[in-house]
Homo-oligomer: A and B are copies of this chain.
């Protein structure tokens, strides 16, 4: 990345999009000329705040896998492009958690740190999400989230001390590499203060015993290892959040065999016949887990979508995009929810193919490896 100069054609394409969709910003030609000149002199250019905000919103609008795109214009930008030091990045991530959580009235927010540029890389956040739970190998089993066993090991190798005793829901520390002059220092570990992480203890509207399972989940999903690419500029650290859809927690994080794998426990507590898959105990347990997540978030006053409502909103989004004369890239297999797919209207139609141009969130292979604690 170091040394790469921005492609002026990519910059121009973005600027033309920005001005076309925002006529109040005035004519595009002067800005194009200025940016071409800036790239010729410095190898890169600096987005105006309005350009950055628009670029981030369009990146969301173009996220083929995201069902929550109807309100893409509401994305709140925290512009932190001057920040490259790892401790400042960590502190700003904590600020993001506070500002976006708002005690439960979640606000879709993105914090953009320094870009990669000719004079050096921007900072990197190694975590997949700002808030996730540790996984500890213990005998043949895993305590906590098996997805993060590698990341947890890595954090410990970098000096992190897990709480004692270790639990199933220990919030992982942030692992951050600085940008610019801080690159050489390597990754640093920063605890996330408890008061920055809103969590919801789970209960079920009808099953009194459900609370005894001692489950909880964090309120805020903040993806933190995808890069934000806008008009030839690449921001490798740009954590963003919306709010959860219940099935993400209930039917994936809690249900997947390589995550918390809770369906057997829930089914047993429900008294279901688990002697064969054919008795549909998995199906029933997953629906009740989803009901519990919805009930608990609602009780706690924390924003949360459900797959039925969100599917309807998504189709409104698709209609609006079509009405605006834009293609609307959709990845069907990510949009259709992991339970009751055929019962939602998103299941029953075809969509435009995902694209790979324009402002875009991208997960590169190195970031992916860092997020899972694999050697990079």
Seen from chain A, the residues whose Cβ lies within 8 Å of a Cβ on chain B are: 247, 251-252, 255-256, 263, 277-278, 280, 282-284, 286-287, 290-291, 294, 306, 308-309, 312, 332-333, 336-343, 347-348
Contact = CB atoms under 8 A, between A and B. Distances in A.
Contacts of A282: 308, 340, 343
13 contacts: A247-B342, A252-B342, A255-B342, A256-B342, A277-B306, A280-B287, A282-B343, A283-B290, A283-B339, A286-B342, A287-B287, A336-B341, A338-B341
Nearest to A294: B278
Contacts of A343: 251, 255, 263, 282-283, 286, 338-339
Contacts of A291: 280
| Overall SS of chain A's interface | helix
A251 B342 contact: yes
Given A278-B308, A341-B341, 4 more contacts: A252-B342, A256-B348, A280-B291, A338-B341
A342 B333 contact: no
A309 to B, nearest CB: 6
A255 B247 CA distance: 20
A263 B340 CA distance: 12
A290 B255 CA distance: 20
Taking each of A247, A278, A284, which has the highest tally of chain B beta carbons within 10 Å of its own beta carbon?
A278
A338 B347 contact: yes
B342 A338 contact: yes
Give the 6 A-B residue pairs with the shortest CB-CB distance, closest first: A338-B342, A277-B308, A283-B340, A278-B306, A282-B343, A283-B287
Contacts of A255: 342-343
Nearest to A263: B343
A288 to B, nearest CB: 9
A286 to B, nearest CB: 6
Taking each of A282, A332, A343, which has the highest tally of chain B beta carbons within 10 Å of its own beta carbon?
A343
Contacts of A283: 287, 290, 339-340, 343
A290 B294 contact: no
A278 B309 contact: yes
Given A290-B283, A348-B256, A309 B277 contact: yes
Contacts of A284: 287
Contacts of A340: 282-283, 286, 339-340
Contacts of A337: 341-342
A49 B247 CA distance: 51
A251 to B, nearest CB: 5
